[in-house]
Amino acid sequence: MASNSILTIAPYKHRKDLTRESVLSKYLIIGYIAAGTYGKVYKAKSKTELSSRDKEKFKSDNHLNKSIYPNNEIIHYTGISQSAIREMSICRELNHKNITKLIDIILENKSIYMIFEFFEHDLLQIIHFHSHPEINPIPESTIKSLIWQVLNGVTFLHKNWIFHRDLKPANIMVSSNGVVKIGDLGLARKFNNNLQSLYTGDKVVVTIWYRAPELLLGTRHYSPAIDLWAVGCILAELLLLRPIFKGEEAKLDLNNKKSIPFQKNQLQKIIEILGTPNINNWPALCNYPEYSSFQQVFLSSNSTVYPNNLLNWYNLIGGKNKQCLSLLKSLLEYDPLIRSTADDALVHPFFLELPKVNSNAFEGLSVKYPNRRIYTDDNDILSNGKLANNNPNAMNQMQNQKSNFNSQLFGNKRLNFNDTNQRKRQR
């Protein structure tokens, strides 16, 4: 029986490959949007559906082929990255108006293509629009709608035992009719019935400027409260039009990847505004793995003890609404046990007072935000497809275009996404 099974695998696989639809047969690739650690993002249009949902966002994840170099020994293997498996499995189960919808998954030419809904804007782009070339504050009613919708999406995730673990403006999409969609669930993970600590699988989560203090102090066990801290940082950024805690990330030592560096500068930025934490306002502070480093840097005899300056910060940026400040304080609590939950934040008095929360964040706005920039001169997704193979000069042409394109976009190994994303950090 075993030998018969082996003999039938190859013909079956061949027949399956012949019937499988290719990416280019189903979608017209319009252009290139951005790149990150886990894949590239393109804009595409469905060739087969004539519905209103005719524009998709492609995420190409070419993690099937890997090379690793332990002790200078090169080992090649084939497999799918853990992050890709997680994102696909989680996104296939999610269906909510404030979460980006996964439409299709295609496996072709040793690459995985995940097709999502396309949205014209993201919060980073909107923040940049209001801060360049001149400061033009985002109206309070717009901020209220944006944050409420973010919290609504986060509530859905948490009720289904999922936390996002990388909430930031660049990952919050907004449609042309003002509907918020939380995207990029590459670091998302289910947190019920874990056999190991979450730290075991992912030692570093959340982009540094939005990383909760318990993560900065090296916690091995954390809760969905880390997402609420990130939402608080996003709310502050919508008010300030730049990150509230803009620290410098201490880089990982490539020779010792098991040792995570103490993020002194990022904690300093937080402490300068929220004050120096202590066991009175954070009883579990002394239990964190990095407490000794924290104590040495921030609690030594020659260290400055900072008071809580959040109220002064809020007044300085022109904040007037006391309920907005109250919400911000509840989200930026040091102690994750008393930090507001997504459920509680949804019914905070800030959202209950007039003007009421609008389901369209752009309602009443006199400005029109520019659409996401699409680069049409770099469709290297075609280099693995039939169009490139049919034209002997196509590959060279695309490679030349890509070289010029990357030299413009990837200065200092960082992507200038939509000409606005100089702040977007790779994970």
In the annotation, is 122 catalytic?
Answer: no
Q: Tell which phi-psi region holds residue 135, choosing left (phi > 0), alpha (psi between -120 and 50) or beta.
A: beta
Of the candidates 273, 259, 267, which has an alpha carbon nearest to the alpha carbon of residue 295? 267
Burial of 208 (0-12, 13-18, 19+ CB in 10 A): buried
The DSSP 8-state label assigned to residue 384 in this structure reads G
- C-beta of residue 43 within 8 angstroms of C-beta of residue 55: yes
Residue 123 backbone class (left: φ over 0; alpha: ψ -120 to 50; beta: rest): alpha
- Options 61, 122, 166, 378, the catalytic residue: 166
d(CA 268, CA 52): 49
Instruction: Report the distance separating Cα 247 and Cα 110, nearest Å.
Output: 38
Q: Are 291 and 262 in contact (CB under 8 A)?
A: no
Question: Residue 106 has which token pair?
Answer: 């295609």
Question: Using only C-alpha atoms, what is the Rg of the chain?
Answer: 23
3-state secondary structure of 58: strand
If you search the block for the tokens 């102090």, which residue do you land on? 217
Reading phi first (left if > 0) and then psi (alpha if -120 to 50, else beta), residue 109 is in left
Residue 249's H or E segment, with its range, is none
Contact in structure between 351 and 239 (CB atoms under 8 Å): no
278 phi-psi bin (left φ>0, alpha ψ -120 to 50, beta other) = beta
Cα(38)–Cα(58) distance, rounded to whole angstroms?
A: 13
Residues designated as active site:
166
